[in-house]
Structure 1
Amino acid sequence: MALLKLVFASLLLLTTSSASPLFHRDGDLVSFPPFVHRGILCDLPIPVVQKLLCPRQGSPSSTPTVNTPIGAAQGAADGSSVVRYSVKYADAQRWQASSVVAKWSLPNGKTDVSALPLACPQDGIDDSAMSEDCLSMILYVPNSIKANSKAPTLVWIHGGSFVSGSATGPGLDGSNLAVATNSIVAVIQYRLGVFGFFAPNGPKNLGVTDTMNALKFLQKVVPSFGGDASQVTLAGQSAGASMIRALLATPSATSLFKAGIIQSDTMDYGFLSTQTQQTMQDFFNSQISCSSSDAACLNGLSTSSLLDAQDNLANAAFGLDNSATQAEPIRPTTDGTLITNTLDSTMPFPAVNKNLLISTVLNEAGFTIYGGFQDGLSPSTYRSFIGGSFETSVAAQLLANVNYAVPAGDDDNSDVRPQLQQMGTDQVWRCPTWTFARSWSQHGGKVYLGQYVVGSSYPGNEAVPFCTESGSVCHQDDIEIVFGTVPNPNAAQSKLIKEVQARYSSFLRTGVPNASGYANWAPATSNNVNALQLGGTGSVPVGACDPSFWGDAIPYDYQLFDI
């Protein structure tokens, strides 16, 4: 069988010149040009950006202090009914396992309690905005939570294709979400890229173990803030959602959280296999001027040189091993030691018991498709593109499917980007998510599926006009809805923010996302996924996500490559 290619992977190669990509990587899509990179927006001296999108900065009006088992925690109270605590949760030397800190301390050696943590090393941001000493988090604690409140904690894991993002990304101020859900919100960082997933000296999933240490840290300290250490729910979007799936496949992480909220996970890709990871590791090692056993040399390499080597790896990965994908080659590995199951059809699915809330957005692939085909897509080009991207028999089935077919009678002046956008959304996000949900429910867990049909255009998505059109909900457009950080929300957005936060509040406490005044949200079953339209009414039409089509007649990438 010919290799199944990611339906829109070739769009990632579009360039304005040989040296200047049209779109760089970020999120789990092609990314925005550097001037709109999410990690740099909050560093711009633009008051409206900082006020509406970013964690609140500046001098606190007071510095509340909480005594924890590891020392006094000083926070920044800014009049929002929330106290914000920035804290370093773990120590780590380059390419070594991290360890939970024994003493409460501010990130990056800061002394100002209102200071925010520096991002982990990544492309697209200034050197002064990042540090390898980046294992930090921000806690948002509502004033309503008292010492014995036993409040739940929501831990947010940011996205960024495992190569970008931070706890200070646009829209990730947890104040409104914490107040609305009366919970502690923790937004965490973890080592990215080759620093977290391609250690030359052996460890494969350092970024995953960093996240586990963040959870261990929280178990130690949340009771001091009025939280219940047994009521921790993980939530994340894009790569952050994939990180939660990795933790669900990690037996040693089971006791660290009780439930998960997974938003826009690229489940089609699967985790890396050990063989693929080793192939990529060998290539990365060849890009640096050190032996894998020479610790002094490895530690002496500059951060910028390692980011350059990481870029070389990302560019070469698909050619080294097609299962790496062009879209997200750096990701967790099913190593058999930490991550022991693929949680898909390539291995026996394990018995499970956690409750999950899983969602996608209406136009996950909208940014990529409409950004790549800016002037439209004719039926003849569409057919050629699908024919060149898939094996002949698979391409024929896709083009014959009513959800992706060119309507009869359409001439070659028609624009069929909607069909390709739906195909990309279904292949990478929606259909594999529904397949996962069926398996999860069949093996003992409970899962609630949803799809956002109302969103808020995330900073950078305006680079593609489609994503700002009425009715479009592109990848990342759910983030500000969840956090309640939409600038000047319209009536539909305000209504959905209120509903989602009420449902999350219920889910944090009961594992069921039903709240008074809102439609019943039924869990998925093997026969009916019951995917709720978030911002709309009723259930999401099944479309091509029928079990007999994607995952059966048309294999997912993880099936094709047996990873």
Structure 2
Amino acid sequence: MFVCSLLSSFLLVVSVLAAPATVTNPNKSESPATSVAFKGFDWGDLRNILCELAIAKNFCPRAPADGLNILTPIGTARGTFASGANRFAVRYASANRWAPSTVATTWQFPNGASDPSTMPLACPQPQMDSSSYSEDCLSMVLYVPTFLHKDSKAPVMVWIHGGSFVTGSVLNAGLDGSKLAMATGSIVVVIQYRLGALGFLGPESNLGAKDVVNALHFLKDNIGPFGGDGSKITLAGQSSGANMIRALLAAPSAQPLFRSASLHSDPMGYGFLTPSVRQDLVNSFLEKIQCSASDTSCLNSASLNSIVDATSSVNDNGQSINAAAGIGEPIRVVRDGSFITSPLDSTAPFPHVNKPLLISTVKNEATVTVYSMFGSPTPNSAFLPVCDAILGPNRTDTIISSDVYPQNKLSDGSEDSRIVLEDVGTDQMWRCPSWTFARNWVQNGGRAFVGVYTLGATYPSNEGFSICSQDGQVCHEDDIEIVFGTVSNPTSSQTALINEVQARYRAFLNSGDPNAPGLSPWQASTSTITPLNLGGVGIISTEACDPSFWGAAVPFDYQIFGL
């Protein structure tokens, strides 16, 4: 009794000494956690270590709901209170240039920072000031609900940003996960990985995708003390982030690391690259930086600026380097036969699967692509040559001879072929291949819930396109801030959709099913796709995506090029 009493008294003293020097104030945007240090010794670490001893656990209270000092298996994590949740930024892995990354073995702030409020620098990428990125970029940000404690066993949602595998970071607009974490009762984690040539055109393929695998290993091993459950990880991502998730669904080594996934606007029509197509892109990249594949010294000493510039060149000219690379996302993951072993499409036997998936697109996926090419209305006569240039004469002839895409006209009688080009592009690259994928998935053992966002919030990158702000128009990326609940001044309709989507995510993260009391039924897909109308009323037309049309009469790119 005396020993226990003495230990209890000692722990009480240590707890007092180690209490944060500042109290979290929810009215401030951030409040760094600090602990009392004595002659260089961190009493907070001592308290955490003692409280983990079996004999001491009964004397130590659980960490407070707003606890910002968390003892993990690899050290103490320190965070900040930001936007309503506790936020922790950490380096999850490190890597030498052109080499596979290795999982971090100590808890460190990103980029050598000492302030827990510091956010990570982005991975090197075009169209960004070099002071904003670093090759030391394998970081993630955790958003932890204030009500969790280490025994909560909450699900974990890992978000993978878009950007065509060449741009993007955890600081992308709308990716503050605080509100999403609080609404879903989950830990939301936003990660970044090596982009462009550094992630995908080096001597070894798929380094960027393997970075994501290491991020999942890091979370599985370290998420418990935050109140998360490493066996309840769901991957979610948009555009190339969704493409990355589909690649991990095709990677046997990644399967034990997550149990479900949500794919937003995956441009599935492209398919994965083959090694030969990738090699053509690599050769072009090497030519730009004036290095040979075997000259390790040259590759390692190439300036970061030259690598970023060469990445931009390959990305802009990918289709001319090899037509199979496509226009919008030429630098991407590779089905190498070892890490990624299946195309997960209609070109090869589909493997047995078992994970539940959410698969969604937005109503007007191709609007920005089309309106970037044509800034003003174009006559209907332009449809044939434009479609022919993108899809080739055979597919164009089939489309024109069908009645699926009638030549549209504006209500004032003027012509604008951009309207039908947008319809074709949305179906060809996003909607119809996604529905084909869903059919394959459920026919081979998995569950899939398909939806279409018919309401969104104009994403900052779309603000230069006035059409994206028109009622009824939902452009690529316009679902992101709906999911995260980060819409600025949302309308009542947007607020209702945010609440619905986050409620569905809460259900899905916990059970693998997005249905919950008070929500309209979301039917699981079968061989027949019945998409949920997200943000609107009425049935989503499935005529254009009939499997006898797209994927059969009109092949997808991955079928045309044998990807």
TM-score computed with the length of structure 1 as normaliser? 0.87
Q: In the alignment, what sits opposite 2:155?
A: 152
How many residue pairs were aligned? 504
Paired with 1:391 and 1:150, the residues of 2 have a C-alpha distance of 52
Q: In the alignment, what sits opposite 2:164?
A: 161
Paired with 1:409 and 1:125, the residues of 2 have a C-alpha distance of 39
Paired with 2:91 and 2:408, the residues of 1 have a C-alpha distance of 56
Q: In the alignment, what sits opposite 2:310?
A: 309
Q: In the alignment, what sits opposite 1:98?
A: 101
- What is the CA-CA distance between 1:361 and the residue it aligns to? 0.1
C-alpha contact 2:381 2:417 (8 A) present in aligned 1: no
Q: In the alignment, what sits opposite 1:60?
A: 32
C-alpha contact 2:409 2:416 (8 A) present in aligned 1: no
Identity %: 50
Q: 1:393 to 1:284 in 2, by over 3 A?
A: closer
Paired with 1:117 and 1:410, the residues of 2 have a C-alpha distance of 49
Select which of 77, 81, 84 maps to 2:81. 77
- What is the CA-CA distance between 1:470 and the residue it aligns to? 1.2
Query: What SS does structure 2 have at the residue aligned with 1:525?
Result: coil
Paired with 2:284 and 2:376, the residues of 1 have a C-alpha distance of 37
Paired with 1:377 and 1:207, the residues of 2 have a C-alpha distance of 40
- The AA in structure 2 aligned to 1:395 is T
C-alpha contact 1:398 1:405 (8 A) present in aligned 2: no
Paired with 2:159 and 2:385, the residues of 1 have a C-alpha distance of 41
- Aligned pairs for 1:119-518 (under 5 A) are 119-199=122-202, 202-406=203-407, 413-518=414-519
- What is the CA-CA distance between 1:117 and the residue it aligns to? 0.1
Paired with 1:347 and 1:257, the residues of 2 have a C-alpha distance of 24
- The AA in structure 2 aligned to 1:533 is N
Cα deviation, 1:158-177, whole Å, max 9, x if unaligned, reads 00000000011110000000
Query: What SS does structure 1 have at the residue aligned with 2:541?
Result: coil
C-alpha contact 1:119 1:130 (8 A) present in aligned 2: yes
Q: 1:418 to 1:484 in 2, by over 3 A?
A: same
C-alpha contact 1:403 1:419 (8 A) present in aligned 2: no
C-alpha contact 2:409 2:415 (8 A) present in aligned 1: no
- What is the CA-CA distance between 1:419 and the residue it aligns to? 1.2
Paired with 2:483 and 2:354, the residues of 1 have a C-alpha distance of 25
Query: What SS does structure 2 have at the residue aligned with 1:463?
Result: coil
Cα deviation, 1:87-122, whole Å, max 9, x if unaligned, reads 000010001000001000000000000000000000
Paired with 1:409 and 1:520, the residues of 2 have a C-alpha distance of 36
Paired with 2:329 and 2:195, the residues of 1 have a C-alpha distance of 12
Paired with 2:292 and 2:392, the residues of 1 have a C-alpha distance of 41
Q: In the alignment, what sits opposite 2:536?
A: 536
Paired with 1:533 and 1:106, the residues of 2 have a C-alpha distance of 41
C-alpha contact 2:156 2:188 (8 A) present in aligned 1: yes
- What is the CA-CA distance between 1:392 and the residue it aligns to? 3.6
Query: What SS does structure 1 have at the residue aligned with 2:420?
Result: helix
C-alpha contact 1:353 1:445 (8 A) present in aligned 2: yes
- The AA in structure 2 aligned to 1:365 is A
- What is the CA-CA distance between 1:269 and the residue it aligns to? 0.2
C-alpha contact 2:408 2:420 (8 A) present in aligned 1: no
- The AA in structure 1 aligned to 2:322 is D
C-alpha contact 1:379 1:412 (8 A) present in aligned 2: no
C-alpha contact 1:242 1:265 (8 A) present in aligned 2: yes
Aligned alpha-carbon RMSD (Å): 1.8
C-alpha contact 2:162 2:238 (8 A) present in aligned 1: yes
Q: Which moved more, 1:141-150 or 1:230-239?
A: 141-150
Paired with 1:86 and 1:453, the residues of 2 have a C-alpha distance of 34
Paired with 1:288 and 1:405, the residues of 2 have a C-alpha distance of 47
- What is the CA-CA distance between 1:485 and the residue it aligns to? 0.1
Paired with 1:114 and 1:166, the residues of 2 have a C-alpha distance of 17
Paired with 2:116 and 2:412, the residues of 1 have a C-alpha distance of 63
Query: What SS does structure 2 have at the residue aligned with 1:447?
Result: strand
Q: 1:412 to 1:560 in 2, by over 3 A?
A: farther
Q: 1:197 to 1:486 in 2, by over 3 A?
A: same
Q: 1:484 to 1:390 in 2, by over 3 A?
A: closer
Paired with 2:317 and 2:29, the residues of 1 have a C-alpha distance of 40
Query: What SS does structure 2 have at the residue aligned with 1:414?
Result: coil
- The AA in structure 2 aligned to 1:71 is G
C-alpha contact 1:57 1:114 (8 A) present in aligned 2: no
C-alpha contact 1:287 1:309 (8 A) present in aligned 2: yes
C-alpha contact 2:455 2:472 (8 A) present in aligned 1: yes
Q: In the alignment, what sits opposite 1:30?
A: none
Query: What SS does structure 2 have at the residue aligned with 1:460?
Result: helix
Cα deviation, 1:385-428, whole Å, max 9, x if unaligned, reads 22444444432321233341216999994223221111110000
- What is the CA-CA distance between 1:448 and the residue it aligns to? 0.3
Q: Which moved more, 1:448-457 or 1:530-539?
A: 530-539
Query: What SS does structure 2 have at the residue aligned with 1:229?
Result: strand
Cα deviation, 1:68-93, whole Å, max 9, x if unaligned, reads 00000001013x44110000000100
Query: What SS does structure 1 have at the residue aligned with 2:164?
Result: coil
Cα deviation, 1:219-245, whole Å, max 9, x if unaligned, reads 011111111110000000000000000
Q: In the alignment, what sits opposite 2:16?
A: none
Q: In the alignment, what sits opposite 2:41?
A: none
Query: What SS does structure 2 have at the residue aligned with 1:67?
Result: strand
C-alpha contact 1:380 1:412 (8 A) present in aligned 2: no
- What is the CA-CA distance between 1:57 and the residue it aligns to? 7.0
Query: What SS does structure 1 have at the residue aligned with 2:124?
Result: coil
C-alpha contact 2:408 2:419 (8 A) present in aligned 1: no
- What is the CA-CA distance between 1:516 and the residue it aligns to? 1.2
C-alpha contact 2:88 2:116 (8 A) present in aligned 1: yes
Q: Which moved more, 1:263-272 or 1:303-312?
A: 303-312
Q: Which moved more, 1:500-509 or 1:407-416?
A: 407-416
Paired with 1:293 and 1:273, the residues of 2 have a C-alpha distance of 21
- What is the CA-CA distance between 1:261 and the residue it aligns to? 0.3
Higher Rg: 2
- What is the CA-CA distance between 1:539 and the residue it aligns to? 3.5
- The AA in structure 1 aligned to 2:32 is P
- The AA in structure 2 aligned to 1:219 is K
- The AA in structure 2 aligned to 1:415 is D
Query: What SS does structure 2 have at the residue aligned with 1:171?
Result: coil
C-alpha contact 2:30 2:80 (8 A) present in aligned 1: no
Of structures 1 and 2, the one scoring higher in RCO (CA 8 A, sep 6+) is 1
- The AA in structure 1 aligned to 2:87 is R
- The AA in structure 2 aligned to 1:60 is P
Paired with 2:391 and 2:348, the residues of 1 have a C-alpha distance of 25
Query: What SS does structure 1 have at the residue aligned with 2:106?
Result: coil
Q: 1:316 to 1:81 in 2, by over 3 A?
A: closer
C-alpha contact 1:154 1:186 (8 A) present in aligned 2: yes
